[in-house]
Amino acid sequence: MARSRALTDETADATAAGTPKLELVRITKRFHRRGAVVTALDDVTLAVPAGQFCTVLGPSGCGKSTLLHIAAGLERPTAGEARIDGRPAGGPGPHRCMVFQSFALFPSMTVVRNVEFGLRVAKVSGTKRRDVAMAQLERVGLAGFADAYPHELSGGMQQRVAIARALVLEPDLLLMDEPFGALDAQTRVTMQEEVAQLVARSGVTTVFVTHSVEEAIYLGDRIVVMSARPGRVKESIDVAQHSAWRDQPAHDVMNEPEFARLRQHIWTSVREEISAASAEQRIS
Ligand SMILES: Nc1ncnc2c1ncn2[C@@H]1O[C@H](COP(=O)(O)OP(=O)(O)OP(=O)(O)O)[C@@H](O)[C@H]1O
């Protein structure tokens, strides 16, 4: 009952806002592993309007990465459908870019060649490719490192290259899977502030998976909390009225009473699911 009401609400909101950029409609995903069946996602419906920065939180193993892989066309759902602009999403393509926790750069290519890679695949001419890649590197503050190799850069810089490589393709949809998970705390805050600016400027629709409640609130227009496995949408919190937070330093914003209130609410919600996930692990 509760689930079908959530589905109706989500669909109604999406219709009111026009065709969403990304729709996941009643997605279920089961994996078969050594004779056992793992239900990673169970009847997940989510509509992300164009230009929205949607952050996704939930306990480990609740299916967050699986959800992104389905949105990216890297996995097929067992049931349900992923849609882009109202049409079946199909396989992966240059208009949907993923940024992973591990930077996934090509180690033998220079920074600029890494950024150019997708443009090369898209058969953009050599001069144009270089100009576009350099302009993007400028935007992420790495123009001076164009000829460096990934191993010569810090983790934060490598992740900036990975983000530049995604944004250079001007994707309609950016799917980020814990992109700052491997960074130290200070670099992470810097990257949050940079991504907030970059994404706001580009206006790209983004789904961003994180384990950090603060990061989710600071960056998100909307925060989706998922339940313990099998993953479902437990709650969706619209925080678009606070999008101006992204223009301020993260630490200043995190001291605001409204931020603290949201953090408390979302922490409680996520913690309930973490407890449910550990109880399930003890039983199984
Ligand atoms: N290719 C696969 N084959 C079998 N099982 C899988 C596969 N991919 C994911 N799973 C299982 O599906 C469930 C959800 O995994 P997923 O990686 O999506 O969770 P997650 O929420 O992203 O976890 P984390 O926060 O730890 O990264 C897990 O139980 C995982 O073991």
What is the per-residue pLDDT across 171-202, written as a single tens digit (0 to 9) for each? 889 999 998 888 888 888 888 888 888 777 78
Question: Which of 128, 154, 170 represents a domain boundary (last residue)?
Answer: 170
- The CATH number assigned to the domain holding 276 equals 3.40.50.300
**Residue from 34, 65, 213 to probe ligand 1 pocket by mutation (most atoms less than 8 Å from CB):** 65
Q: Whose CA is nearest to atom 7 of ligand 1?
A: 31
Which tens digits make up the pLDDT trace of 253-272? 999 999 999 999 999 999 99
Write out the DSSP string of 109-136: S-HHHHHHHHHHHTT--HHHHHHHHHHH
Atom of ligand 1 nearest to the CA of 75: 1
Residue finishing a domain among 139, 170, 201: 170
Per-residue pLDDT at 129: 93
Q: Which residue, by CA, sits nearest to atom 16 of ligand 1?
A: 63
What is the pLDDT at residue 1? Answer: 33
DSSP 219-242: H-SEEEEEPSSSB-EEEEEE-GGG
Pocket test for ligand 1, best of 27, 28, 31, 213 (most atoms within 8 A of CB): 31
Q: How far is the CA of 139 from the centre of ligand 1 (A)?
A: 34
Number of domains composing the chain: 2
20: Cβ below 6 Å to ligand 1?
no
Q: Say if ligand 1 is within 6 A of residue 229 CB.
A: yes
Best of 55, 56, 57, 62 to mutate for ligand 1, by most ligand atoms within 8 A of CB?
62
How does strand 22-33 pair with strand 36-48?
A: antiparallel
Residue 130: predicted pLDDT: 95
Q: Which domain holds residue 182?
A: 49-76+90-95+175-283
Shared domain check, 261 and 227: yes
Whether 59 is in the pocket of ligand 1, judged by its Cβ within 6 Å, is no
pLDDT of the residue at 155: 87
Does 3 reside within a domain? no
Residues of the chain whose pLDDT is less than 70?
Answer: 1-17, 94, 103, 281-284
For ligand 1, whether the C-beta of 113 sits within 6 Å is: no
Residue 267 lies in a domain: yes
Using DSSP, state whether 78 is helix, strand or coil: coil
Q: Is residue 29 part of a domain?
A: no
pTM of the model: 0.88
Do 52 and 221 meet the contact criterion of CB atoms below 8 Å apart? Answer: yes
Query: For residue 211, which atom of ligand 1 is closest to its CA?
Result: 25
pLDDT of residue 198: 79
Assess if residue 263 is contained within a domain.
Answer: yes
| Complex confidence, ipTM | 0.97
Number of the ligand 1 atom closest to the C-alpha atom of 62: 21
Residue located nearest, by CA, to atom 17 of ligand 1:
65
Task: Check whether residue 120 and residue 210 sit in a common domain.
Answer: no
* Separation CA 50–CA 19 (nearest Å): 8
Same domain, 182 and 154: no
Q: Is 3 left (phi over 0), alpha (psi -120 to 50) or beta?
A: alpha
